Amino acid sequence: MNRTVDFAGTTAVITGGASGIGKGIAKSFLARGSNVVIADIDEASLARTAKELGVLGLRTDVTDPESVQSLADRAVGEYGEVHVICNNAGVGPMSAMSSLTLEDWKWMIDVNLYGVIYGVHAFLPVLEKNTDWGHIVNTSSMSVVAPPPNLGAYVAAKAGVLGLTEVLDKELEQRNSVVRATALIPGPVRTNIMNSLRTRPAAGNSSLYDVDIADNGKNFRFLEPEAVGQIVLDAIRSNATFTATHAEWLPQVADRHTRIQQGFPPCKTPEQFSTEGNKP
């Protein structure tokens, strides 16, 4: 259901905001008169983008809950309130699951899932102080609903993001909160996520490797980050629990759900349930 949202004068905080989808989202909010705070672990990129856009840039390590809490505190201290948090920071190197080390798993889960958890934990109390509205946007991935090989750790984390966002939105609606939540499900977008290992702390043995999917021979349609920013704003206006970027992936999503349905036992009629109970 659509709601009346005036972005002018509101404040949006975006993690992973120095480049890619995060930067595109920041531009969309700026174009509608919002105050914008971008957060990123890449200090050089953060400084360039903050200067380019004329926004506040705060170095933030989303794997550190204290760093994320500091981001929330700084944003409130600067602007008084926050209406939108986009938990967007993510990393996407690849590896066969049989080759992943436990350190690989931990880093991927820490950034892609715990980064969102820490963002929700720090910002939800802030957003619920608003008298009009608030919104949480968590970036999941098209790879969750159409999973490819060699992205096991990434898909596992982003599936967690999808699930927690759906539950969160249901809980917020159930208690009539002014805050709602959206899972952003992006397909191929021109971003820097395929250069993720540059942000990883020094590690021991690792099987992870960066791959530019634009060079893998598949004919993907890549969106520009600014287009994703508009999709996010539309989702906030419509209170959408899910919003995706690429309609052409829908057949793959439908096929996956069909295969899941095929794993269920045959449905019983109400009469069968009443006479047979829950016998297999």
Q: Known catalytic residue: 209? A: no
Candidate list 79, 114, 154, 209, residue with the active-site label: 154
With b meaning 16 or more CB within 10 Å and e meaning fewer, what string describes 196-207? beebbeeeeebe
The catalytic site residues sit at 154
